[in-house]
């Protein structure tokens, strides 16, 4: 459970940094949040890997959730477009990450996964 909470924190830090990057165009002080957010995100992502989450799963979930959340929040905060086609793309990204996670679970169940080795 700890590794998933850490992964959530890494995602939120990355999304915050990315949205702040957009906001920094008009408010340069936000560049501080950009730097802190990205450094924090990568640091916490490293902790996720140290906690034992497989790299493919961690990076897939981090990347996919970051893209999806950033797209939705950019539409809300900055008026960026969010079309039906984009929604389908986000759903496909999420489905792909789900497939990676299910594959990792299957590998662990069969004993070929090494995720538990670091725990």
Cβ proximity of 34 and 83 under 8 Å: no
Which of 58, 20, 47, 49 shows the shortest CA–CA distance to 36? 20
Report residue 117's pLDDT band, with 50, 70 and 90 as the boundaries.
very low
**What is the distance between the alpha carbons of residues 8 and 99, in angstroms, rounded to a whole number?**
19
Residues 33-43 have pLDDT tens digits of 999 999 999 99
**What is the distance between the alpha carbons of residues 116 and 109, in angstroms, rounded to a whole number?**
11
23: how many CB neighbours lie within 10 A of its CB? 17
14: how many CB neighbours lie within 10 A of its CB? 24
Give the mean pLDDT of 48-57. 92
pTM, 2 dp: 0.83
Report residue 9's pLDDT band, with 50, 70 and 90 as the boundaries.
very high
Which pLDDT value is given to residue 112? 59
pLDDT more than 70, % of the chain: 93
Give the mean pLDDT of 40-48. 97
């Amino acid at each position: 459970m700890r590794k998933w909470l850490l992964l959530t924190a890494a995602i939120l830090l990355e999304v915050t940094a990315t949205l702040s990057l957009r906001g920094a165009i008009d408010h340069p002080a936000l560049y501080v949040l950009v730097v802190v957010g990205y450094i924090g995100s990568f640091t916490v992502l490293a902790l996720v890997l140290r906690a034992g989450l497989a790299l493919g799963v961690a990076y897939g979930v981090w990347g996919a959730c970051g893209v999806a959340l950033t797209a939705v929040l950019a539409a809300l905060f900055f008026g960026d477009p969010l079309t039906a086609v984009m929604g389908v793309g986000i759903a496909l990204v999420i489905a792909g990450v789900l497939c990676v996670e299910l594959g990792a679970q299957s590998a662990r169940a069969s004993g070929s996964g090494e995720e538990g080795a670091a725990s």
